Structure 1
């Protein structure tokens, strides 16, 4: 007895340890459905940004998310906001994601969040914060040995120093990025890096080196067959030639960019702006004005106020040079109005950023305060560990007993389901029908029906223990069952199975033996009393989140006598059906309806059963 108790306590400690481990690790997992949705957001963010944000918010309200799932969803939301220029919101969301990744000690995703935080801070004008985040991301990337993330951190540092006009450091960082990405197959990123290298050389007035880098980017764009990227590179080469004073070459590349834009049906103002600058520098005022006006129309259409202001400044200068002071004044009035709007937006941006900084500082204060509390409570935590272990043991036994009860309930449900599906009355009547066919001297027909009936029994026994089967197997089984019933009743009714074309029955899983009780009720209490013209319809339609099942007959209806006859058996079958749906925990039992059908004279004309299953 003592040995048994000792073994029981050892088992308890093992269970408690496993419970503790599973509780800790649960926060570190991604469920398959969440993983699939996260992958889908990469495309959705680019094609339907607003929809992706709505979908992400709907997922984030789920209280059952693990810490990792919540962190990854916040990360995706932050990226979607960042890509759509909502930098303040992206910054706040990524702060939350970063805090969760830090809690999980997920250094890879920590570094990714830090890079976006750095980018958002840079767009908001906080250079110091941007640099802190970028350097921290670089340190983490080097710590875990992830070259791709390291390259992104270097690229962020390049952007920062380029904005500061510290071109020597910017060149150092972008060359470090180039060396890390040069061995990868990510052609799109390599093209962007080559263009960034060229942009630094351009600022350093090293035009030949800039053109060499742009040429490498152009070759990659052509081999990658990415016309939009190629347009950008052509435009950059044109601007470089303008800077170098080689206007003929500049015009060739800028017009090439315009032609390529036309080929791919893209409207882009940059080449026209470049041509305007080139013609202005070469004193061709009329041509400069024409191209600046084309660029202006595109910027105005796209609500790009900053670029529109710059172009209007050029048009004002051209109008003054041409002596058209009325046109110059008109452009100046519009330009001043745009500048007021930009200044107002900038003011609001600075106010928002101040609020963000305040929230960050407040959060840091709260964290420091929490650390102090945690330090004071260490001894209290140690003293409660033993009590927690005892509670875990008790919880383990409770969970074990709960699982036993659930298994017992599932076993009883399985037995009840099999009794309902294959009741003796049905079996004996079917065998009697087959016997009559044999006595009539038709052994082939008899043999066929025996084969169908044996297959039906085998299907019932095979499927009853399974949690789910494919829809096509369920349909095959119910077809077999209906045809067996047609044999019993000498084909007094017909049946139709209508499955929507968009449903891939071999890929969709459903609980087994779900439809048979209601098909049986339709035959037993509706169609068998109808001498002719009976029809049974099984219809399956696809809905947004699942399938709609409809079982309808044109029998005599559920009369008071019929209800009385089936009150025990049908209700028992219905209760088993509802219990099976409840065990799926998707709320599907709420969709179950049995409806009596009547004609205009209130005469019963059949019964309709419908319910929904969610994917």
Structure 2
């Protein structure tokens, strides 16, 4: 049966090649042989595609009645086996044939049906992408929680070790001055290590703010409901890229200036979509900095930018504008954030009684 199935598929492919060469009569001959072979071996999954190709060959050969017959058979069979993509193509081809036969009413009905199936396929694909993104986020959050637990255990172990060292310090301080000096130095190194661990914990917890991700997914869901495919896919891609960059950067003390700019642009673009274009932003820097070997802490400017977005534009009548400037002055990188918002005093009054959790450090 495997040999016969291969033979049937080869006959179908040969028919398609002859169609591409516009030798439709020869194509029909090979496709009919492929159809008979599929039927003889009882292969019910592959022969609907042969029916579709046979209808297409007849249509190209201007034999519309035969084309309609085989295309309708392809649609019926595809529907029976829930082959939605082939069903959509068959209905679209059937509408084209009916239009050529002058039956525009029936053609319009079949075309509408094909569009409904197309929408359902698209909706299913988008739902699967959203679920995949949610599953990926949950997995990453689980890994982060495990990492935090491991860091906490390391911290407790270091504290216990420090207490033991201090105990022995008190016992032998009068006899072993050199040991006392060594223990002091060890204590300082331990304190620095603890501080680094605490900062890493805060970075891991804060840079993946569920509130920000939920708002971004809500914007994507809005685009999907509005059937704005391009914007929905762009937002999905931008959010996934930002999440990947944040996770990569969170394990590093310094990153390149170019990578920092890429992360910052993604964050600002997502915030613009979230706030429906209520503000613009402008990055001002020497172009040579983007390709230089300069390294800076990750997301260093993000907390200041977020404060400007969340609080600076409250009640602002005109469109907001944030300007971020980077300037190298005597080997010192100067960073500035400026906005045309309502000011710190007015912002503090406006946000009284509300809470806000920053995305960054």
Query: TM range, normalised to the smaller chain?
Result: 0.3 to 0.5
Which one has a bigger Cα radius of gyration?
Answer: 1
**Structure with more relative contact order (C-alpha pairs < 8 Å, separation 6 or more):** 2
Instruction: State the TM-score, normalized to the length of structure 2.
Output: 0.47
